[in-house]
Structure 1
Amino acid sequence: MTCFEPEALGNLIEGMDFHKFYFDNTEHAGQKIHTTLLNPNVHLMGDEGACIAYIRLTQFIDKNGDARSRQAQETRVWHKRNGRGWVCVHVHRTGAPSSVTTADCHF
């Protein structure tokens, strides 16, 4: 998988190691987080390809107990691979980071 996203500071990221760092070092237990995908637009590219663009709205309670929202615009490219089903092969995101960290949230 490849991606462009704010955390990568304008660099094209390849593979999952970059993302694994965030998954392994962010605690989500007990957080109240709600994600909504707005205005999804899907383009099928034959039988084995698809592209979806949407607005991702993430709602959470911050460390002060206040309700907050973050918005990001995302595009994802999917490839249907034999034996693996649909696999995301590229992500492009602008706007807010995709994850809400423990520093942002109230427990």
Structure 2
Amino acid sequence: LPAVSLTGMDDIPGLLPPPPVGRHQTGGGVEILLEKRLLGHGLGMAGQWLARKQEIIKTTEQLIEAVNNGDFEAYAKICDPGLTSFEPEALGNLVEGMDFHRFYFENLLAKNSKPIHTTILNPHVHVIGEDAACIAYIRLTQYIDGQGRPRTSQSEETRVWHRRDGKWQNVHFHCSGAPVAPLQ
């Protein structure tokens, strides 16, 4: 099964039941690596802020799992239909809508039977009001190449999230570096 790891997430002891610092397994086989940092907010606001950050990280994790699993239906539920993106696969062009992404799901990701493991390094979440947030992180993708050798690729990603009807949707992302889907 594909896996996703996160590292560098802030937590405040006592505000929410935080997982212990270090390695933590979630229900979906996802590994999260946590660090402690002190936040400069009041307790009530910090608790709300942290909860929102955790929502964004969890939703980002779900999106990446959908990509790793080649599950376009799950991916489309997390993304706004008018999603815009700059990514290596688009050769520097701004892409709008889901058709560009569907092509990769149908022709590469869904047919990939080799394991993929993704690690998210130091996610930084910027909460922008009640219904908007941005997350930036480094994404390491481990995979087996066409010759059976283990490989790692790195990309730098930023995602903009908007909450509509209580549900977070990815409305824009920018990916620099290696393509997200390793060509096998």
Relative to the length of structure 1, the TM-score reads: 0.89
For residues 23-102 of structure 1, what are the structure 2 equivalents within 5 Å? 23-26=105-108, 27-28=111-112, 30-82=113-165, 85-101=167-183
SS in 1 for 2:100: helix
**What is the aligned partner in structure 2 of residue 19 from structure 1?**
101
Q: Percent identity over the alignment?
A: 60
Point out which structure has higher relative CO (alpha carbons under 8 A, 6+ apart): 1
SS in 1 for 2:102: helix
More strand by share: 1
What CA distance in whole angstroms lies between the structure 2 residues aligned with 1:62 and 1:7? 18
What CA distance in whole angstroms lies between the structure 2 residues aligned with 1:95 and 1:48? 29
Displacement of 1:61 in angstroms is: 1.3
**What is the aligned partner in structure 2 of residue 8 from structure 1?**
90
What CA distance in whole angstroms lies between the structure 1 residues aligned with 2:119 and 2:91? 25
What CA distance in whole angstroms lies between the structure 2 residues aligned with 1:55 and 1:11? 21
- Tell me which stretches of 4 or more aligned residues in structure 1 moved more than 4 Å: none
Displacement of 1:63 in angstroms is: 1.8
Unaligned runs of 5+ in 2: 1-82
SS in 2 for 1:100: coil
What CA distance in whole angstroms lies between the structure 2 residues aligned with 1:64 and 1:98? 19
More helix by share: 2
What CA distance in whole angstroms lies between the structure 1 residues aligned with 2:148 and 2:164? 44
What CA distance in whole angstroms lies between the structure 2 residues aligned with 1:66 and 1:14? 35
CA-atom RMSD in angstroms: 1.0
Relative to the length of structure 2, the TM-score reads: 0.53
SS in 1 for 2:148: coil
Unaligned runs of 5+ in 1: none
Q: Which has the larger radius of gyration?
A: 2
Count, aligned residues: 100
User: Residue type matched to 2:95 in 1?
Assistant: I
What CA distance in whole angstroms lies between the structure 2 residues aligned with 1:82 and 1:12? 27
Provide, for residues 76-106 of structure 1, a one-character-per-residue CA deviation record: whole Å limited to 9, x for no partner. 00000015x00000000000001123xx2xx
Displacement of 1:48 in angstroms is: 0.2
